[in-house]
Structure 1
Amino acid sequence: MRETSWDIDCVIIGVNCEKTIERCLRSILASSYPGHLLHIYYCDGGSTDSSIAIARRFAQVRVFELNAEYPTPGAGRNQGWKNSSSPFVQFLDSDTILDSLWLSKAAEAMNDNRIGAVFGLRQEIHPERSVYNWIGNLEWNGPAGESDCFGGDVCIRRSALEKTDGYDETLVGGEDPELSRRIIRAGWHLIRLNAPMTMHDLAMTTVKQYMRRSFRSGYAYGAVRSREAAVKSSFWKYDFQKIVIKSGGFFCSTALSLLLMLSPLPVIVKIAALFLPLIGLSLLLSPRLFKVEKFMQEHHLNNKEAKIYGWHCSMVVLPQFFGIIRFYVGKLFNKPLKNKRRNLKTALSTAGS
């Protein structure tokens, strides 16, 4: 690997992340990248626990306290890169662990001036501890090469951030792909390397957590798709339509069946109406019914694992559908979804692990 001499700013964001922030910071300090070229910034969104105190223990870390009433990931990330000056900025979430070799690989890739952002593989630390962690581990990564978007762990060229003015601070979800699209339209390429970048702990163990995360992902689909449609982009068009058609078809067929059953229509019509929910249900469950073999091949799963993943792909669109509705209702009445600091907390899959 060619020697690099680029300064890199590492910007970490978090809120109430006392269980993970020290681990994240230590992983950066343990990087094989030359220490004198690393500059670390922790941007806290308004923690009420000991997150800030922990970060301040590290002399190498500059801490920003945003104290926003409604924190967003974009606000924290913008605070970090706009108060630093290195040519590359590595963004991280506080619940990640940086691979020791990643920054060298990212800097090497960035020698190509056409690349606006580079990112690698994110892996779950404990995919075995819950089915939700396992699903997250399956979905974090895509094929190596040019990509149409990146996630929260990414190394971005400063000039790309300056040209696009960085992250959208109003978004509570989808801020990473939204910025990705603007960087591409500004003329840069996004590259995924087949190399470890970060370890992550989703720490999702309950249905409630799963539903909340899926609802927010639906909101993100709505927010980003709305922006992309405005510039005639097809990004996330298929994903958006899939959620709306499957969930909408299921709910509409069920509602229509009930209406027909309660109406003064001939018995034969009412009998036919009984089959409408089955049509909607088959549409909703199409991944579980028809794509098990595909999941086995694409994700290298056994039959049982592919069926579990099929259930996820079938059911996740329901909370996502309501997330999309929430976005458009909020847009109509100028009431966007907002983060409440008291509800933001970074956990571990197992306390003390």
Structure 2
Amino acid sequence: MSEEALVLVLPLSFSLGIAYFLLIRYFLWHWNQIPAWKTPVDFQPRTRVSILIPARNEAANIGSCLRSILAQNYPETLMEVIVVDDHSEDTTAALVLAIKDPRIRLIHLVDYPLPNGLAFKKHGLSTAITQATGELIVCTDADCQMGADWLASMVSFYQDHSVQMIAGSVNFHQEKNLLERFQSLDFMGMMLLTGAGLRSGKMRMGNGANLAYTRSAFAAVGGFNGIDHLASGDDLLLMHKIEKQYPGQVLYLKSLAATVYTLAMPDWRSFFQQRLRWGTKNAAYQEWRITAVLGMVFVLCWSILLHLIFLPLAPVTLGISLLIQWACKIWADDQLLRAGANFFHRQDLLRIFWPAQLLHVLYIASVGFWANVQKKYSWKGRKVR
């Protein structure tokens, strides 16, 4: 490679690497500014809660999910659980009905015809909300489990802050292999970015597996109108609508007790399909900062990948350039993930930090590309475009 190219490549690589490092440091600073929440010892529940659980082919998980919800340290008279059976082809509905508890209701989505162009999950949630009696809507997924103080932590935070929407943490657990541990490490970092983004007011994200919002706010923004054609986005895109209507009233709940746990994807195909599903809503983001941040991470990962591919052509120049970029990424990621491991008590995940770096580059580059090109994926037996 010529000396002129060296003069051009190195400053660009340095600038991209430093930009990533400063971005992570910015969000990490905001994460550290979020006060950790603990349910007050004198907490008096007074909020009726409707817990919504969309479920499709979740026979393997729905029982443990419901048992963990029914075991919450929260007054039975102030909670209801609505399971929306989304055309399951297994025994999901039968397992729900087998649990004899007056707090549980089952909605068969097949009884509510889907209007053309609408996504099943959003249609199911909207249907459940019309029948819910709670002031606070709490959403989770059928493959999730939570500790006994999850709901009390959510509601005590809501009563203390009087907000319209709360984003809680979601972690993976019970990992069995490198891929599952990588997902746990990666998602743990995403939770810190979620909290920091909301705290800073610069990047609002959330996860539908642990999300709460007032029924009045849902009605005020027209529910999922305008985003109901997208299979994903029942969390982040709804959050953007509520934040626009109620500025400053969407907060992150930094609480280990309020964390929801789910299982990582067991193989590469299901992992790719899951992340492809998440990525297909990128074009609908109403906040340009999210697109900008995701775009920068995507460009950095592709830059590192291309450096590795073409390294033999110019080992000195590209080697120096690669070293600069990857050093900045490793330095930033190490600080972010260590903070997450300390808060969530998952220091064990740091053992795979080094292989996870390469997996992260490959995953961001490939999924980011296909999410913007293919626009279709398979999820729970459905082909989605």
Superposition TM-score tier, normalisation by shorter sequence: 0.7 to 0.9
Pair 29,42 (structure 1): closer, same or farther in 2 beyond 3 Å: same
Name the residue aligned to 2:267: 206
Listed one character per residue, the Cα deviations across residues 270-291 of structure 1 (whole Å, up to 9, x for unaligned) are xx99459x969x77x9875542
**Is 1:130 paired with 2:177?**
yes
Pair 303,89 (structure 1): closer, same or farther in 2 beyond 3 Å: closer
Deviation of 1:241 (Å): 4.0
Deviation of 1:179 (Å): 1.1
**Is 1:3 paired with 2:44?**
yes
Deviation of 1:97 (Å): 0.9
Name the residue aligned to 2:291: 236
TM-score, normalised by the number of residues in structure 2: 0.70
Name the residue aligned to 1:142: 192
Distance 2:284 2:119 in 1: 19
Which residue identity is paired with 2:353? A
Q: By percentage of residues, which structure has more helix?
A: 2
Name the residue aligned to 1:65: 108
**Is 1:84 paired with 2:145?**
no
Distance 1:305 1:249 in 2: 19
Deviation of 1:51 (Å): 0.2
Which residue identity is paired with 2:273? R
5+ residue gaps in structure 2?
Answer: 1-39, 339-346
Partners of 1:90 and 1:154 within 8 A in 2: yes
Name the residue aligned to 1:177: 236
Name the residue aligned to 2:283: 223
Partners of 1:288 and 1:307 within 8 A in 2: no
Pair 296,325 (structure 1): closer, same or farther in 2 beyond 3 Å: closer
Deviation of 1:340 (Å): 5.9
Spell out the pairing of 1:1-353 with structure 2 (5 A cutoff).
1=40, 2-59=43-100, 60=102, 61-67=104-110, 72-112=120-160, 114-127=162-175, 129-138=176-185, 139-140=187-188, 141-142=191-192, 146-147=198-199, 148-152=204-208, 153-167=210-224, 168-187=227-246, 188-220=249-281, 222-225=282-285, 227-228=286-287, 233-243=288-298, 246-247=301-302, 274-275=313-314, 288-300=326-338, 305-326=352-373, 337=376, 342-343=381-382
Higher mean displacement: 292-301 or 84-93: 292-301
Distance 2:170 2:325 in 1: 25
Pair 248,75 (structure 1): closer, same or farther in 2 beyond 3 Å: farther
Pair 323,166 (structure 1): closer, same or farther in 2 beyond 3 Å: farther
Partners of 1:13 and 1:42 within 8 A in 2: yes
Q: Secondary structure of the residue that 2:235 maps to in structure 1? A: helix
Partners of 1:115 and 1:191 within 8 A in 2: no
Q: Which has the higher contact order (CA 8 A, sep 6+)?
A: 2
Which residue identity is paired with 2:372? I
Deviation of 1:341 (Å): 5.2
Which residue identity is paired with 2:109? L
Partners of 2:84 and 2:109 within 8 A in 1: yes
Listed one character per residue, the Cα deviations across residues 178-227 of structure 1 (whole Å, up to 9, x for unaligned) are 1111111111222222232344332423222232233233323x2333x4
Identity within the alignment, % = 18
Name the residue aligned to 1:261: none
Higher mean displacement: 179-188 or 133-142: 133-142
Pair 203,121 (structure 1): closer, same or farther in 2 beyond 3 Å: closer
Deviation of 1:238 (Å): 1.5
Distance 2:58 2:205 in 1: 26
Partners of 2:273 and 2:377 within 8 A in 1: no
5+ residue gaps in structure 1?
Answer: 258-271, 331-336, 345-353
Deviation of 1:31 (Å): 0.6
Distance 1:248 1:325 in 2: 18
Partners of 1:149 and 1:177 within 8 A in 2: yes
Distance 1:324 1:340 in 2: 14
Distance 2:49 2:366 in 1: 39
Distance 1:166 1:36 in 2: 27
Partners of 1:136 and 1:202 within 8 A in 2: no
Name the residue aligned to 1:334: none
Q: Secondary structure of the residue that 1:197 maps to in structure 2? A: coil
Deviation of 1:156 (Å): 1.2
Which residue identity is paired with 1:298? L
Distance 1:287 1:217 in 2: 27
Deviation of 1:82 (Å): 2.2
Q: Secondary structure of the residue that 2:169 maps to in structure 1? A: strand
Distance 2:220 2:350 in 1: 47
Listed one character per residue, the Cα deviations across residues 104-126 of structure 1 (whole Å, up to 9, x for unaligned) are 12111112465122243333221
Partners of 1:22 and 1:54 within 8 A in 2: yes
Pair 29,303 (structure 1): closer, same or farther in 2 beyond 3 Å: closer
